[in-house]
Amino acid sequence: MITFVLFVNFLLRAIDRFLGKGLDLLTILEYLFLNLAWILALSVPMAVLLATLMTFGRLSEDNEINAMRASGIGFLTIMRAPILFGVIITTILIYFNNFILPEMNFKARLLSGDIYRKRPDMSIEPGIFLDNLPDYSMIVGGKLSDGTMKDVRIFSKGNKEAQTSIHASSGNLNTLEDAFLLTLYDGEIHELGQKDYTNYRRIIFDKHVINIPAKDLLLNRRDSTNRSDREMTVPMIQNKINSYEKRLRIVYKRLSGNFYRTIGDSTVPNTVKEGEIMIVNALDSIKNQNSLSKAQLIKKEKRIKNLERQLKNEFNLIRSYKKSQNKYGVEIHKKFSIPVACILFVLLGAPLGVMSKKGGFAISTGLSFGFFLIYYVLLIGGEEMADRTFLSPAVGMWSPNLIILLIAIYLLIHTVRENAPIGIKLPTIFKKKKDK
């Protein structure tokens, strides 16, 4: 149910990407199927929480929990099977996030790019050259809501005997089975010979039709080795992190050498401010050296000022490398932290379900959605702060799990002790209805 809701939401937002492009049904289904991967990665943890809540809510409503407790079965014993179920789902989701999801994300991005380039008229923007038409370049002055182009200018390209330029007040681009049909209205054509510039021709027309073969615009499947962080497996990401680590070592070594050659100290500063303090101290030291001539003093001051510029440039490079390194580190931890959340949601959903008897199922469901929203807000916030190097990737990605775990343990302890951890009272309106 959750997957269906998320999928419909995605479909409504993405439907304009492939409508009117002459795609076959299998290509459309493949595009939708490939994008189903990231939807499943989101919906499974949410489904685990709701499933646990509904199960324990129904058991509590039917007094099954009380019956099992009366039979000598403790609540922690009841929790064994749900926890085992959560572990199984977590294991499957870890495999899915590490091997299946990256590959499907990669293929979905390539297919999305191929679909986008299949129809040039969908990407026509006023004032911007359209250069992906065979043999022609085109620019339009404006575009109406019905797709009609205004102030159309077309220029031939390639090695031809004559250079052609066309100007029309309006035009339309339509799709045929194997070609595109460009229909222009109220314009003129200018042709100029490439070899003989005296060979010039001007044609005025009310309507002019240009047939553009579609063989170069058909859906061509590309194969690319460039992958984003969400399209990589853990070994790929680890290799990327190691490459940035090597680059950082090279930068630090270069910075250390520059400091040693300029001020005689190979100590690498940890921050730009610390490096600037070292440079200021070196300048003061040089100015106090009476043995230096004026020319030598000016030369050394110039070298130190160059070192200050190098310091800022190198630390900009270091920040960039560390930011990229954290970005990939976040993706590694995310592949494990989100699946592990399934176990935590089982631990959280069970006591919330038991509470539904006292607080009402609707209120417990609202609480579960609230906890789920809190988890993802914390996850997104942790990812953002880790990407900006304010937090380490491990802290940013596992902090939401730790918070949910602490809340789940608190609720479990009170559920095992059979006392309500949260006082939930039905609203007055519901009480009156219940009394009636």
Instruction: Output the pLDDT for position 225.
Output: 62
Tell whether 139 and 157 lie within a shared domain. Answer: yes
Could you tell me the CA-to-CA distances from 324 to 82, 268, 303, 386 in Å, in that order?
A: 39, 22, 31, 10
Instruction: Output the pLDDT for position 424.
Output: 46
Rounded to the nearest angstrom, the gap between the alpha carbon of residue 247 and the centroid of all alpha carbons in its chain is 25
Tell whether 125 and 103 lie within a shared domain. Answer: no
Q: What's the pTM?
A: 0.68
For the chain, 436 residues long, the average pLDDT of each consecutive 10-residue run is 87 75 78 92 90 86 87 91 96 94 91 65 68 75 80 80 86 71 89 76 88 57 70 92 92 89 82 86 77 77 85 90 92 94 93 70 67 88 90 94 94 80 47 46
Tell whether 110 and 128 lie within a shared domain. Answer: no
Q: How many domains does the chain have?
A: 3
- Checking DSSP bridges between strand 149-156 and strand 200-213, what pairing results, if any? unpaired
Instruction: Output the pLDDT for position 185.
Output: 92
Tell whether 13 and 98 lie within a shared domain. Answer: yes
The answer to whether residue 74 is domain-embedded is yes
Instruction: Output the pLDDT for position 161.
Output: 73
Q: How far apart are CA 371 and CA 407, in angstroms?
A: 10
The answer to whether residue 224 is domain-embedded is no
Rounded to the nearest angstrom, the gap between the alpha carbon of residue 142 and the centroid of all alpha carbons in its chain is 32
Domain range for 299: 229-326
Rounded to the nearest angstrom, the gap between the alpha carbon of residue 129 and the centroid of all alpha carbons in its chain is 29
The answer to whether residue 203 is domain-embedded is yes
The answer to whether residue 221 is domain-embedded is no
Tell whether 14 and 102 lie within a shared domain. Answer: yes
- Final residue of a domain: which of 326, 359, 390? 326
Q: How far apart are CA 127 and CA 112, in angstroms?
A: 25
Tell whether 381 and 408 lie within a shared domain. Answer: yes
Tell whether 236 and 343 lie within a shared domain. Answer: no
The answer to whether residue 387 is domain-embedded is yes
Residue the block writes with tokens 């001007």: 202
For residue 143, the cross-strand partners are 149
The answer to whether residue 219 is domain-embedded is no
Tell whether 6 and 113 lie within a shared domain. Answer: yes
The answer to whether residue 223 is domain-embedded is no
Tell whether 285 and 322 lie within a shared domain. Answer: yes
Tell whether 252 and 319 lie within a shared domain. Answer: yes
Tell whether 14 and 92 lie within a shared domain. Answer: yes
Tell whether 32 and 63 lie within a shared domain. Answer: yes
For residue 228, the cross-strand partners are none
Instruction: Output the pLDDT for position 433.
Output: 47
The answer to whether residue 262 is domain-embedded is yes
Instruction: Output the pLDDT for position 267.
Output: 81
